């Protein structure tokens, strides 16, 4: 039974049968798919410092965004990189996908390494985003993850998939 439907997600209450035969009632969040992009240029990468209202704080993360209706993940990656950083890439290398939190959501995030970057004149940030682009030396990423400066799960996964 659907208990909520918004512009970008729906929430459903469903009775599920577990592998052991037990029946349970569960709530599942369906936000749709998303992408995350690690733009790399030489020995540096670009992250964004973005305000996230759910945690009421700024967080350092990879550019990312929701896949629009009819859009393919690589098209979303191309669009989101421009929208969030003002850069475009001539090379997008797919790095698989991750599930953000499979205990309650079916969200799948496709990961991309973006290379051969150049400024894009069509740069227009979404109205509801407060973003600062931050250039980070790749050699500093492990320490930033270890000390918590990078705490976003999709960004940590993306760094592991792209730079290991």
pLDDT level of residue 126 (50, 70, 90 thresholds): low
So what's the pLDDT on residue 125? 66
pLDDT, tens digit, 9 for 90 and up, residues 86-103: 999 999 999 999 999 999
Alpha-carbon distance 66 to 11, whole Å?
A: 17
Residue 145 CA to residue 142 CA, distance in Å, equals 5
DSSP state letter for 84: H
The tokens for 10 are 């729906």
Q: Is residue 117 part of a domain?
A: yes
Question: For the whole model, what pTM was predicted?
Answer: 0.92
In a domain, 127, yes or no: yes
Q: Is residue 62 part of a domain?
A: yes
Its domain, for residue 43, covers 33-96+110-163
* Segment 32-49, tens digit of pLDDT: 999 999 999 999 999 999
User: Does a structural domain hold residue 57?
Assistant: yes
66 found inside a domain: yes
* Higher-pLDDT residue of 85, 164: 85
Active-site hit among 68, 71, 127, 129: 127
Residue 19 lies in a domain: no
Q: Is residue 13 part of a domain?
A: no
Q: Name the residue among 147, 148, 88, 99 with its Cα closest to residue 121.
A: 88
> Quick check: is 86 in a domain?
yes
**Residue 68 sits in a domain of what CATH number?**
3.90.79.10
Under the banding of pLDDT at 50, 70 and 90, the label for residue 8 is: confident
d(CA 6, CA 67): 15
Q: Sign of torsion, CA 37 126 153 17?
A: negative
Q: Which residues are CB-contacts of 77 (< 8 A; sequence separation ≥ 6)? A: 35, 37, 92, 110, 112, 114
First CA to last CA distance, the chain: 42
pLDDT for res 1 = 94
Looking up tokens 């704080």 gives 57
User: In total, how many domains does the chain have?
Assistant: 1
Tell me the mean pLDDT in the region 28-34.
95
The yes-or-no answer on residue 127 being catalytic is yes
pLDDT of 150 over the 70 cut = yes
């Amino acid at each position: 039974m659907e208990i909520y439907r918004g512009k970008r997600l729906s929430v459903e209450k469903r009775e599920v049968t577990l592998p052991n035969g037990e029946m349970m009632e569960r709530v599942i969040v369906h936000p749709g798919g998303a992408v995350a992009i690690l733009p790399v240029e030489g020995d540096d990468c670009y992250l964004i410092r973005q305000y996230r209202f759910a945690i009421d704080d700024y967080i350092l993360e990879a550019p990312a965004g929701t896949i629009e209706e009819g859009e393919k993940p690589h098209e979303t990656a191309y669009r989101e990189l421009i929208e969030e950083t003002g850069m475009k890439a001539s090379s997008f290398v797919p790095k698989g996908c991750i599930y953000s939190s499979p205990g309650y959501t079916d969200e799948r995030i496709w990961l991309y390494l973006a290379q051969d970057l150049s400024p894009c004149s069509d740069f227009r940030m979404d109205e509801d985003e407060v973003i600062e682009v931050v250039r980070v030396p790749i050699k500093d990423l492990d320490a930033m993850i270890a000390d918590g400066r990078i705490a976003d799960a999709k960004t940590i996964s993306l760094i592991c998939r792209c730079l290991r």
